[in-house]
């Protein structure tokens, strides 16, 4: 039996048995994905590369459609990194990380639109904002998209 508790940064599903996809996701997975995203978006920003941004947008899109644990970085975490780690202390509700993926996708699409329109300021600004959010998650375990999602949920309940 799982219980749901909330914290300031994420919703947690307390792990009482072996972690399963239906009960929640390992919270280290999205952070691992954010680290890779930070590298990809840094390269996209430094190189002003619409190709790298489009690849990252595709990763975000898979995360939105299939869920964070099924997008490429989540699969890499699950198959390569996760087996080498101890069990997580808790499992996380995937809804907030999925929303964060949608935010990343939105900024990536704005960046691609900027490149398509020749507005490099728009493209680079959108990449920089997405990069800042990914870096916050990777470096400080602060998921900005998750925070927005949780605050919106609290407002809906009020």
Cα–Cα dist 27/91, whole Å:
6
Output the CA angle 19-144-129, nearest 5 degrees: 130
| Tens digit of pLDDT at every position of the chain (158 positions) | 333 444 444 444 443 344 444 579 999 999 999 999 999 999 999 999 999 999 999 999 999 999 999 999 999 999 999 999 999 999 999 999 999 999 999 999 999 999 999 999 999 999 999 999 999 999 999 999 999 999 999 999 98
Q: Which two tokens mark 99?
A: 């929303």
Q: Which two tokens mark 129?
A: 């904002």
């Amino acid at each position: 039996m799982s219980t749901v508790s909330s914290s300031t940064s994420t919703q947690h599903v307390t792990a009482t048995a072996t972690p399963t996809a239906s009960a929640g996701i390992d919270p280290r997975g999205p952070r691992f994905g954010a680290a890779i995203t930070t590298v990809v978006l840094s390269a996209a920003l430094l190189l002003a590369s619409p190709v790298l941004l489009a690849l990252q947008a595709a990763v975000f899109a898979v995360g939105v459609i299939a869920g964070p644990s099924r997008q490429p970085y989540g699969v890499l975490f699950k198959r390569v990194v996760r087996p080498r780690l101890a069990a997580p202390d808790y499992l996380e509700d995937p809804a907030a990380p999925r929303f964060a993926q949608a935010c990343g996708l939105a900024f990536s699409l704005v960046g691609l639109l900027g490149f398509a329109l020749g507005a490099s300021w728009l493209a680079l600004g959108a990449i920089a904002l997405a990069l800042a959010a990914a870096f916050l998650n990777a470096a400080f375990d602060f998921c900005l998209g998750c925070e927005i999602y949780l605050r919106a949920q609290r407002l809906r309940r009020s």
